[in-house]
Structure 1
Amino acid sequence: MKSQLDDDKPIFQQICVMIEEDILDNQIHEEEKIPSTNELAKFYRINPATAAKGIQTLVDKEIIYKRRGIGMFVQKGAKEKLIEERKQTFMKNYVEPLLHEAKRLRVGKEEIISYMEREDDQ
């Protein structure tokens, strides 16, 4: 996890994203325990309710689950779920606008593919 929070977006969202990033980067694995609300609150010097809201977001997305009296754990299949979610966001935010602009500029599919392949070779 990052050692500092930014002022860019709400803290609970940053907590949520940091845990997602750790799952995607294999820092936290499926069925592994995540830091507790109190641990996050102490580490980031934030209100425990704020940390809990970030964790609850992940529970609502079925990325983590609670084991009563033990803590919160990463769901099986959470990484794949996050990858799929991120792919959809990537397509919407980057690929669709790219294709729209390419069409406006009359850049063909072959030209885009050729450019991408050239970049892969470097």
Structure 2
Amino acid sequence: MNTFLSAEKSIYLQISEIIETDILRGILLEDEKVPSTNELTRQYTINPATAAKGINLLVSEGILYKKRGIGMFVSPGAREQILEKRRKAFKEQSIPRLLQEAASIGLSKEEVLHAIESSSVPG
């Protein structure tokens, strides 16, 4: 969780995305305790209500669950749920933006596909 917050997006959304990314990377595993609101508040120097809003968003999506008096934990199946959510967002948001930008600079879908096929995947 050594991530910096940006001004481009709401902080609570960034907090939820940081936790999701840690789940995807295997840093946080199923049924493992996630950082508390107070820990997030200290780490990112943010308002506790903002940290709580980010965590509560994940609870409402079923990615985290609460153990009363103990804290928040990663739900079973959370990784697969996050992958599905991010794949859907990629298809519905990123690809149309990519194609729109390509069209604005005169690239056809075929040229975009060729560029993708000839590119290497980072990571």
TM-score by length of 2: 0.79
Q: Which residue of structure 2 aligns with residue 10 of structure 1?
A: 10
8 Å contact from structure 2 (residues 40, 51) kept in 1? yes
Distance 1:98 1:6 in 2: 23
Whole-Å separation in 1 of the counterparts to 2:98 and 2:13: 27
Count of equivalent residues? 119
Aligned residues of 1:2 and 1:18 also touching (Cα < 8 A)? no
Whose Rg is larger?
A: 1
Partner of 1:80, secondary structure, is helix
Identity %: 46
Q: Which amino acid aligns with 1:18?
A: I
**What is the TM-score normalised by the length of structure 1?**
0.80
Counterpart in the other structure of 2:57: 57
Equivalent residue, structure 2, for 1:76: 76
Task: Name the counterpart of 1:45.
Answer: 45
Cα offsets for 1:58-117 (capped at 9, x unmatched): 001110000111110000000000000111111112334556767xx79576x7666544
Distance in 1, Cα, partners of 2:5 & 2:97: 30
Structure 1 residues 72 and 117, CA gap change in structure 2 (3 angstroms):
same
Amino acid at match of 1:93: Q
Residue 119 of structure 1 deviates from its aligned partner by 3.4
Q: Structure 2 CA distance, aligned partners of 1:50 and 1:75?
A: 21
Which runs of structure 2 are paired with 1:86-97 in the superposition (5 Å)?
86-96=86-96
Cα distance in 1 for residues equivalent to 2:14 and 2:115: 35
CA contact 1:31–1:76 (8 Å) conserved in 2: yes
Query: Unaligned regions of 5+ residues in structure 1, if any?
Result: none
In structure 1, distance between residues paired with 2:98 and 2:8: 26
Q: Which runs of 5+ in 2 are unaligned?
A: none
* CA distances 1:1-41 after superposition (whole Å, capped 9, x unpaired): 13432111211111111101111111111111100001111
Change (3 A) 1:115 1:74: same
Over aligned residues, Cα RMSD in angstroms?
2.5
